[in-house]
Amino acid sequence: MIRLKSKKAISQMGQSGAVVAAVFEAIAPLMKEGITTEEIDRTAHQVILAAGAIPSFLGYDGQGPTPFPSATCISIDDEVVHGFPSGDRVLRDGMIVSVDVGACLNGYHGDAARTYLIGRVPDRVRELVQVTEEAFWLGFEQAVPGNRLGDISAAVQNHCESHGFG
């Protein structure tokens, strides 16, 4: 069931999203060689707390052996999403780093992920990241009343395949 939200609730959702945006602004300068994923996570955690929010992922119990141990999920290269930050994981030239951030404020969760290219990355990898973002926006444009999920997925798939990714 879809529950319509009040203007106040929508505003509060936007505030949660703004916390996540502030995290990305704070960690962007850290996305370079020599930085550990733990340092990135620590900065993100501090920004979330300073905004009066709670890290959405920290302590999350997804029925695994232990609750999620960090404020962010950081995955490198072809690693499956939701990687754990660590002091042993150091960013190096050529890496693709995905950072997923969630923050809860006023009972609403803001959640987003960004991809960062560290140093010199092969052209085809850079193209993949660009085409992926373009495909996201093409799918987003199809998310309108009257369209179906297939309209969104077709826009994404067609764009990716037209660039040789499929």
One domain, residues 49 and 63: yes
One domain, residues 128 and 88: no
In a domain, 2, yes or no: no
One domain, residues 141 and 128: yes
Q: How confident is the model at residue 14 (pLDDT cuts 50, 70, 90)?
A: very high
In a domain, 86, yes or no: yes
One domain, residues 12 and 92: yes
Domain count, the chain: 2
Q: Quote the mean pLDDT of the chain.
A: 96
> Domain range spanning residue 70?
8-119
pLDDT of 93: 97
Give the percent of the chain with pLDDT over 70: 100
One domain, residues 108 and 127: no
pLDDT greater than 80 at residue 63: no
- Last residue in a domain, options 98, 119, 140: 119
Give the percent of the chain with pLDDT over 90: 92
One domain, residues 91 and 115: yes
Torsion sign, CA atoms 40, 42, 44, 46:
negative
Which segment of 25-34, 61-70, 124-133 scores lowest on mean pLDDT?
A: 61-70
In a domain, 108, yes or no: yes
One domain, residues 28 and 51: yes
Q: How confident is the model at residue 2 (pLDDT cuts 50, 70, 90)?
A: confident
Q: Is the pTM of this model over 0.85?
A: yes
Residues 40-49 have a mean pLDDT of: 99
In a domain, 3, yes or no: no
pLDDT greater than 80 at residue 90: yes
One domain, residues 17 and 35: yes
One domain, residues 29 and 59: yes
pLDDT of 1: 80
CATH of the domain at 29: 3.90.230.10
